[in-house]
Amino acid sequence: MTAEPFLDLHPATETMLDDVLNGFATTPRALPSKYFYDAAGSLLFDQICELNEYYPTKTERWILETYVDEISAALGDNIVLIEYGSGSSIKTRLLLEHLNGLAAYVPIDISKKHLMMAARNLEGEFPTLPIFPVCADYLQDIDLNLTGVLSKGDGHGASSVPTDDGAKRSKEPSHLIFFPGSTIGNFNPEQARDFLKRVHHLAGNNGHLLIGVDLVKDPKVLHDAYNDTQGVTAEFNRNILHHVNHQLGADINVDLFEHRAFWDESAERIEMQLVATDHQKVDINGSVFAFNAGDVIQTEYSHKYRIEGFRALAEDAGFTVDRVWTDPQNLFSVQLLSTI
Ligand SMILES: C[S@@+](CC[C@H](N)C(=O)[O-])C[C@H]1O[C@@H](n2cnc3c(N)ncnc32)[C@H](O)[C@@H]1O
C-alpha cells in the first residue's frame, strides 16, 4: 500500500475556511464536529475510547464480540465492507475476522494520516484482504467505483458462480456499510434521515447497514462520559481550535477556552461547547472576531436514541430494521438494517 489513499477527496483548505467563517457568523458561534479530527484529534479520540467513563466504545465492542456470529450469519457472503468514519478500525477487526467471503474493505475517514496508519496496520494483519482507504468527508457524495479494481473469481471481488447451463456468471458483491461509534448521533434527526437516505443509495440492492446507536439513559452516566476526570475530552474539544490555527494560520489563544458538556433533556442530546474565559480578538485569514468571557462556540451534538425512535428514522430513509442487539444494561445498540 502506498502512503496515499486509494481515493483522496480530503476537503480543501478553502472549504474549511468557509465553514469556520460561516460558523463564526452565527449566534451562538459553531464549528462542525468533523474538524476535531486531524492527526492529534484522532489520537485523542482513541484515548477517550480507553477511558473508564466512556461506556460507548466498550459496550459496542462487547455487543459486537457477543453477537458477531449472528451478524455474520445474517449477512451471507461475498461482501464489500465500507466503513464510514473508520478511525483506528478497532471494532472492524471483529468483522474482518468473522464475515464470510469478504471481497474488500473500504475505510472512509476525513483524518488522512490516521486513516493511512490504520490501513497499513490492517494490511499487516490481513495480508490477503484488498483494502481501499478513502480520505473524504462522508457528507459529500463519494463515487467509489470499485468495479475495475476488484479482481474476479479469486476469492476476492466479483466471484464467478456456476449457473444451470454450466456457464459461469459473475456475482457482484453486496455492500455492507458499517457506521459504528454512534457517530450518527452527531447529526440532528433531520440530517440523520438525509444521511441514511444517502447510505441507503450506496448500500444498493441487497445491501446492509450495521450501525452503532447510543441509547437514552441515566443522565449521570451520560454526563460522566463526556466530562472525564482526566480531562481528555476537554483536550479533544479544544483540539478543534488547534486544528483551525494550524490549517488556517489563525491565532486563537486556545488556553482561553474551557470545555463544557451537558445533557439537554428536551432534545435528548449531549451538547459540547467551548466557552471563552476572557476577552480576545482572533484573526482568521484576515477576518477578525471578538470573544468575551462567557461566549460560546458550539462544537458537537451527540443525540441519543430510543429503539423505536431510531426504527422510525431508519424506515423513513427506506431501510428495514432486521435485528437490534443491546447490552444487558441497555446502554447501547448495534442494529442491522437492510435495503430491501
Ligand atoms: C466518533 S469517531 C468513531 C471512530 C470509530 N469508528 C469508532 O467507532 O471508534 C468518528 C470518526 O469519524 C471520522 N469523521 C468524523 N466526521 C467525518 C466526516 N464528515 N467525514 C469523514 N470522516 C469523519 C473521524 O475522523 C473519526 O475517525
Q: What is the pLDDT of residues 113-166, one digit of tens each?
A: 999 999 999 999 999 999 999 999 999 888 887 777 775 444 444 444 444 444
Is there a contact between 301 and 188 (Cβ–Cβ < 8 Å)? yes
In the block, residue with C-alpha cell 429503539: 307
Q: Which residues pair with 15 in a beta bridge?
A: none
| Statement to judge: residues 78 and 143 lie in one domain | yes
Q: Residue 314 is inside which H or E element, if any?
A: helix 307-316
Query: What does the alpha-carbon distance between residue 136 and residue 302 come to, in Å, rounded to a whole number?
Result: 21
The whole domain housing 35 covers 12-51+218-303
Nearest CA to ligand 1 atom 15: 34
Q: Which of 7, 16, 34 to mutate to test the pocket of ligand 1 (most atoms within 8 A of CB)?
A: 34
In the block, residue with C-alpha cell 476572557: 278
The confidence score (pLDDT) of residue 3 equals 79
Say how many C-beta atoms besides its own lie within 10 A of residue 298's C-beta: 17
| Statement to judge: residues 298 and 229 lie in one domain | yes
| Statement to judge: residues 74 and 109 lie in one domain | yes
Q: Which of 51, 122, 138 to mutate to test the pocket of ligand 1 (most atoms within 8 A of CB)?
A: 138
127, three cell numbers: 495480508
Centre of ligand 1 to C-alpha 299, Å, is 15
The confidence score (pLDDT) of residue 162 equals 45
Beta strands in the chain (DSSP E): 7-9, 29-30, 79-84, 102-109, 134-136, 159-162, 168-171, 174-179, 208-214, 257-264, 269-276, 280-284, 287-291, 296-303, 320-326, 332-338
Query: What does the alpha-carbon distance between residue 339 and residue 322 come to, in Å, rounded to a whole number?
Result: 10
Whether residue 298 has pLDDT greater than 70: yes
Q: Which of 10, 16, 19, 37 to mutate to test the pocket of ligand 1 (most atoms within 8 A of CB)?
A: 37
| Statement to judge: residues 90 and 198 lie in one domain | yes
| Residue 7 within any structural domain of the chain | no
Q: Residue 22 is inside which H or E element, if any?
A: helix 13-24
Closest by alpha carbon to 133, among 44, 8, 269? 8
Average of pLDDT values for 6-29? 95
Centre of ligand 1 to C-alpha 240, Å, is 14
Q: What type of residue is 271? A: E
Average of pLDDT values for 178-191? 97
The separation between CA 275 and the C-alpha centre of its own chain, rounded to angstroms, equals 25
| Residue 5 within any structural domain of the chain | no
Where residue 266 falls among pLDDT bands split at 50, 70, 90?
very high
| Statement to judge: residues 229 and 294 lie in one domain | yes
Angle at alpha carbon of residue 206, lines to 203 and 210, rounded to 5°:
55
Is there a contact between 133 and 127 (Cβ–Cβ < 8 Å)? no
Structurally, how many domains does the chain consist of? 2
Mean pLDDT of the chain: 93
Q: How much of the chain exceeds pLDDT 90, in percent?
A: 85
| Statement to judge: residues 98 and 192 lie in one domain | yes
For the chain, counts of helices (H) and of strands (E): 9, 16
| Residue 128 within any structural domain of the chain | yes
The string of DSSP codes covering 205-269 is TT-EEEEEEEB---HHHHHHHTS-TT-HHHHHHHHHHHHHHHHHT----GGGEEEEEEEETTTTE
| Statement to judge: residues 71 and 197 lie in one domain | yes
| Statement to judge: residues 99 and 143 lie in one domain | yes
Buried b or exposed e, range 1-33, using 16+ CB within 10 angstroms? eeeebbbebbbeeeebbebbeebbeeeebbbbb
Ligand 1 binding site (Cβ under 6 Å of any ligand atom): 34, 37, 42, 45, 49, 57, 85-87, 91, 109-111, 137-139, 180-181, 183
| Statement to judge: residues 70 and 23 lie in one domain | no
Centre of ligand 1 to C-alpha 87, Å, is 6
Say how many C-beta atoms besides its own lie within 10 A of residue 104's C-beta: 19
- Asked whether the bond before 28 is cis by omega within 30 degrees of 0, the reply is yes
Nearest CA to ligand 1 atom 20: 137
pTM of the model: 0.93
Q: Which of 45, 81, 194 to mutate to test the pocket of ligand 1 (most atoms within 8 A of CB)?
A: 45
First to last CA, the chain: 35
- Ligand 1 atom at minimum distance from 60 CA: 8
